[in-house]
Amino acid sequence: MMRRWHLAHGRHIDLGARAVVMGILNVTPNSFSDGGRYNSLDDAVAQARLMVEQGASIIDVGGESTGPSAAPISAREEQERALPVIEALAPLHGTLISIDTYREETARLAVAAGAHIVNDVWGLQREPGIARVAAETGAGLVIMHTGRGREKLADPIEDQFLFLRRSLEIAHEAGIADERIVLDPGFGFAKETPEDNLDLMARFEELHALGFPLMAGTSRKRFIGVVTGREAPHRDAGTAATSVILRLKGAQLFRVHDVAINMDALAVADAMLTRQAHLSARSGQ
């Protein structure tokens, strides 16, 4: 399914024909796999440039760790970490910038600083005012499913529909157009066991019933470590395997730490899908 994703500042990106990679840029001291590596502005900008050179279409800047054991920080601290990086990246030609936040104020300041996308891991349901920011600024919006802080339904896909449909109601009530929305099933966010995440992968196609482009955020997650026996910094090959599986199941965006290995893996997946479409069209003649 081809879709044009409309973003802030008059930008857009086409989804569907080829996988789109979003590079993770954590400017935090305590992110689970790379905390502290990009705390300085120079290091953060250098890493963003490297990810763009490797093929990332979007850089996702996060100023607060969203790991389950991470201590919360203030909005001001989050902004002091993330906003200077966004301001430094904004002049880079062609680079799309995402702000990874659930806070209304941080999202508004980030878009004003040059961000094109708001990526909310609480799916608009922690600070619903963030939906107004997306509506007023025209930002692209990633709405992520989470099971944190609530009772979940036993069936993982039914719980996805329950949560994400409520998030979509909030988005629509705020006036956000469908062409600005991408959904993320939230791998690792209160999916407590490896089986929970593997089940979500196995049934990923069912999420297309929601009618929106889908982003996969499996990168270096704990379930990959359980399967491979590797610690977080060494899970990139496993991540690439999940990217290929989810691409074949229809995911269009991939949020990853290691851009290069995922770009290569997804290039093979895309080549196969292109060939498959060609063979299907030929056999139908």
Active site residues: 221, 255
With contact defined as beta carbons under 8 Å apart, do 131 and 170 qualify? yes
With contact defined as beta carbons under 8 Å apart, do 77 and 63 qualify? yes
With contact defined as beta carbons under 8 Å apart, do 108 and 68 qualify? no
With contact defined as beta carbons under 8 Å apart, do 196 and 218 qualify? no
Would you give the end-to-end CA distance of the chain in angstroms?
21
> CA angle 75-217-72, nearest 5°?
25
Looking at residue 242, what DSSP letter applies?
A: H
Q: What DSSP letter does each residue of 133-167 carry, written as one string?
A: HHHHHT-EEEEE---TTSPPPSSHHHHHHHHHHHH
Q: Which two tokens stand for residue 119?
A: 């990526």
